[in-house]
Amino acid sequence: MARNKTTRLSYELEDDVWEDDVKLVVLHTMLALYNVGYREINLGGLMRIMGFSQNEAKDYDYTFIPLDDEFEHYVQTVTQRIAFESDSVPKDATWH
């Protein structure tokens, strides 16, 4: 039996591949896991959380996304950029 190869991916999502709403849902789901102590996300498991079928997700069970100390800042930066690019937040809003 062939052994599956473990793959590691970056948490930095390419802008041209992801819709902003989807990107925010994925990043904030990962942030919730980060906030309870996860420092590595299994992509197959994340896909199941997001509603993918077992059959679709199983191909990614050996793919992991390491979350480093900069992850939380990355999520905040992406969230703010998307909010400022949309019309849902006034351009003069103050971020805390």
Main-chain phi, psi angles of 19, to 5 degrees: -70, 145
Q: What is the pLDDT of residue 62?
A: 95
Give me the phi and psi of 47, to 5 degrees please.
-65, -40
- pLDDT given at position 20: 83
pLDDT, residue 67, reads 96
Question: In this predicted model, what pLDDT tens digit does every residue of 32-49 receive, in sequence order?
Answer: 999 999 999 999 999 999
- What's the pLDDT score for residue 39? 97
| pLDDT value at residue 1 | 47
Give yes or no for residue 90 having a pLDDT over 70: no
Q: Which residues are paired to 40 by β-bridges?
A: 66
